[in-house]
């Protein structure tokens, strides 16, 4: 059977379905009156598990010695999978990543999700922290700016 759409377009559409489904699910839980902190904890648990699974998948590709350069590559793969556009500065001691375009931020904005119900930033940290620590336990990751908080970009700092 011939492919109806190119594989890249298929992947892009699948990502959009995932992003909007997860965002709509969260918004519907809010509208049903489910406690915000419970939903946030559940969301963060999901992204922690996903980060761990991603680390398991990537570990064989990068081996045992995970450096800043390795984490930069891992981050680039995750950003591509999640459809995120970034600018990155890398030094021997760490990585500073500016997240410029994010499908999660776009979806929550388009769907009018209230700012205090936009869990993309905490989910992002849960995923990335677990992913990087699963590859190098000495790594650390923090988000110093977040679009849901009103910043123009999200900014992540990675160090080992």
Structure pTM?
A: 0.89
- Which listed CATH number (2.130.10.10, 3.30.1380.20, 3.40.50.300, 3.40.50.740) goes with 7-159? 3.30.1380.20
- CA–CA separation, 27 and 8 (whole Å): 29
Question: What is the domain partition of the chain in residue ranges?
Answer: 7-159
Instruction: Specify the DSSP class assigned to residue 84.
Output: -
Tens-digit pLDDT string for the chain (160 aa): 566 888 888 888 999 999 999 999 999 999 999 999 999 999 999 999 999 999 999 999 998 889 999 999 999 999 998 899 999 999 988 999 999 999 999 999 999 999 999 998 999 999 999 999 999 999 999 999 999 999 999 999 999 9
Helices (H), 63-140: 68-81, 103-110, 120-135
- CA–CA separation, 28 and 25 (whole Å): 5
């Amino acid at each position: 059977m011939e492919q109806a759409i190119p594989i890249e377009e298929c992947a892009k559409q699948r990502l959009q379905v995932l992003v909007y489904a997860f965002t709509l699910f969260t918004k519907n839980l809010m509208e049903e009156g489910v406690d915000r902190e419970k939903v946030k904890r559940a969301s963060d648990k999901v992204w922690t598990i996903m980060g761990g699974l991603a680390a398991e998948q990537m570990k064989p590709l990068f081996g045992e010695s995970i450096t800043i350069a390795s984490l930069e590559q891992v981050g680039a793969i995750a950003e591509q999978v999640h459809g995120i556009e970034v600018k990155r500065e890398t030094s021997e001691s760490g990585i500073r990543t500016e997240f410029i375009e994010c499908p999660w931020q776009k979806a929550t904005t388009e769907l009018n999700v209230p700012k205090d119900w936009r869990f993309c930033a905490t989910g992002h940290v849960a995923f990335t922290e677990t992913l990087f620590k699963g590859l190098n336990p000495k790594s650390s990751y923090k988000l110093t700016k977040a679009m849901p908080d009103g910043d123009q970009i999200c900014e992540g700092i990675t160090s080992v």
